[in-house]
Structure 1
Amino acid sequence: MSHTAHIPSHRKPRRSASKLALRAGVAGGVLGTIAVAGAAGPANAEPVTETIEMPTLGSLENGAGLASAVAASAEASQQEALDQSLQTQENAALQKAAKEAKTARAEADRKAAAERAEKARLKAEQERKEQEAQERASRDSARTQLSTTSSGSSNDGGSSSDGGSSTGSDESTTQAPSGSAAAIVAFARAQVGDSYVTGGTGPNSWDCSGLVQAAYREAGIDLPRISYQQSSMGSSVSLSDLQPGDILYWGSRSGSYHVAVYVGGGKYVGAQNSSTGVVERSLDWDMPSGAVRIL
């Protein structure tokens, strides 16, 4: 047998170019090794008769299977990484949704609380208005009764004045205006509890001179609108000689900044300020500067 082993021909289906090249390389390497060994031996050496087993197709196919396994493992690793990425994204989406739901619920609770507060405010406002309406109706009724009473008193007072000349001049002069004074005092007291508003002239809010003007109008007497004009009318009287219906003033007589109605018993009624409204107070609470008598 020659140095070159006889390789039987196998008629197989055509294989790929890469496999054929691999086989050719293996075969060439084996044959080259044998040729070098034969040349290096003794010249008279006996010819070497040896059968060389070539790599089988099975071993080559095993190598291809290993490559396939490696590729499959790489693909599995990629799939696992992809699954982990998707899981991370899903977890992030769930956390975001939970946060948004929590924010939405907090906003809904805030709106519900605001609505409850607004309803409570509206209810309180409605109750306040209803109470004011009831108080206003009560005052209007009282004013109507006082007006009727004062009209009768004025008529009675006039009759007494006409028929009471023997009682003396002082008594007759006080009896004639007593009905008007009673009407003024009654009207002023009926407004106690009303609110104070700058420039207010009634029927439920007043400033000081607006209240005095309206009280005197109840007795049929027209007064100027401004406080210093009202205190400039009539005649000055001492604070120790006050009578119901006298006008009290604060400041100078021709430059007063506040007026009120003396109602007797050391008290007066006036629209004081926005925090107190119309009140009845003792003279000692805020002693006036002076007084005038118009009746």
Structure 2
Amino acid sequence: MGYSHAREVESLNRSLSEISKDIQVSFEFFPPNSPEMETTLWNSIERLAPLKPSFVSVTYGAGSGTRDRTHDVIKRIQKDTALIAAPHLTCIDAGKEELVQIAKDYWQSGVRHIVALRGDLPNSSEKPSMYASDLVELLKSVADFDISVAAYPEGHPEAPNPQFDLLNLKRKVESGANRAISQFFFDIESYLRFRDRCVTVGIDVEIIPGILPVTNYKMLERFAGLTNVHVPSWMPKMYEGLDDDETTRRLVGANIAMEQVKVLNKEGVKNFHFYTLNRAELTYAICHTLGIRP
């Protein structure tokens, strides 16, 4: 086992150093809600900007207050950096006319790329009046936006079954989505199987894996619970006893994400989307190993 495993690692590293020229990355940030977070965010953007990501996305929660914050961050990224900024837009907290207005406003302020999502239901018993596929259609009717949508390798928490979820993604693509970005995952097999299933139902856009470098395992457990993401049994063991040791936690997190990226790359993945949680260090280090450098 030892020898063949060593050769495997060697070949992963070698293949990575040979093909790094084709790799593209994108980053996700969220709008700050305090002066400290604001400083952290802009420091991270400054640190990651020289890596020339294909785009950076900015999330927002439900409610128009955070949408305005998202818009402010987007405008500033556009004004002060050379990055392509892509706001998240959801359709459950706005009517069609309002969404058309927001889309026009974004287009006029130079935004060409939007991440189109349904959004979280404030009350899960209600049926949403619009879905992400409707939003994609609406955006395309306003202007020829470049549109990313969400994909769920392990199934959307509300989907009755995996096939339903897959056909939903197909609808989003048929409505005009240019690519899908996956929910974060740690079980690489689940992503690869999902990618194969996408091909079998005729989804022809790229399914970009979403990578979440984990520094805080407790927070991850909460995230994973909410999002239906399977946390492999080896993972909690890696973070055991590190509650008060942030430095080691970060090294462990970076290592897990780097392994993930290497294996995915060997499986032909050329684009990666990083959930940065507004921190640059880990994402920067992982991109460096990928050969993405200023």
Per the TM superposition, whether the score is higher than 0.5 is no
**Which structure would you say has the larger Rg?**
1
* TM-score when normalising by structure 1: 0.20
